[in-house]
Amino acid sequence: MTLYYSLVFVLLMVEMAVYLLMVLPVPYSPRMRFFTWISTSAVVGKIQYCLKITFVFILILFIDSVNRVYRVQSELSESKHMGGQSVMGHERMEVQARKFYSQRNMYLCGFTLFLSFILDRTYALTLENLQLHTTVKQLRSDSAKLTEGGADELKEQLAAAKRDTEVMKKQAEGLAREFNALADRYSEATGGEKVAKKEL
């Protein structure tokens, strides 16, 4: 394997390790700290930029390896249809070996690119999930505060309503007494006709 395909293989192994670390069931707070550090770190940003450039080169290698697989495949099919001549054993083995190496390189580059897209999407979804979790936590604490504050406010309103009710009862009793007193004075003034007393 050439040096650049060896580097692609190492990158594939690193991607697999990072993916496993991302999907491990880690508690919320360490995971949040880790993802916050990744999203805010300048060093990680530079590494991501370099990796994007590297993935462009891997894409070029992938296209080249697909082209080589196609060429080897057409060479192999051409040799089968060469007017009935059979290809010598060592030549056939050489073509089969080139086909194997071309396919290996194609799959290696393809899986590396595919896993990079999966990593990017998993990272985005996990970060979004953690942010939503933080938002829900904050909303729950806010609603708990509102509920506690709202209960105190309702208690105050209920106490004020009770005080108002007591004041209105006292006013009604006072008005009833005044009415009865006025009714008595009126009946004395008119000559003894009794006016029905209003009772509560």
- Summarised one tens digit per residue, pLDDT across range 54-100 is 999 999 999 999 999 999 888 877 777 765 455 566 677 888 888 89
Question: Does residue 63 sit within a domain?
Answer: yes
Question: Does residue 117 sit within a domain?
Answer: yes
Q: CA separation (Å) from 83 to 86, 117, 174?
A: 9, 46, 126
Which domain, by its residues, includes 101? 3-79+89-154
Q: How far does the chain reach from its first CA to its final CA, in angstroms?
A: 105
Confidence at residue 22, expressed as pLDDT on a 0 to 100 scale: 86
Question: Does residue 102 sit within a domain?
Answer: yes
Reported as type and span, the H/E element at residue 126 is: helix 89-190
> How many domains, in total, are found in the chain?
1
Confidence at residue 82, expressed as pLDDT on a 0 to 100 scale: 66
Question: Does residue 84 sit within a domain?
Answer: no
Question: Does residue 179 sit within a domain?
Answer: no
Confidence at residue 86, expressed as pLDDT on a 0 to 100 scale: 53
| Cβ atoms of 102 and 68 closer than 8 Å | yes
Question: Does residue 64 sit within a domain?
Answer: yes
Q: What is the rounded radius of gyration, in angstroms, for the C-alpha atoms of the chain?
A: 43
Confidence at residue 84, expressed as pLDDT on a 0 to 100 scale: 45
Which residues 6+ apart lie within 8 Å of 118 measured at CB? 19
Which residue ranges in the chain fall short of pLDDT 50? 84, 200
Is residue 74 packed enough to be buried (19+ CB in 10 Å), middle (13-18) or exposed (0-12)?
A: exposed
Question: Does residue 25 sit within a domain?
Answer: yes
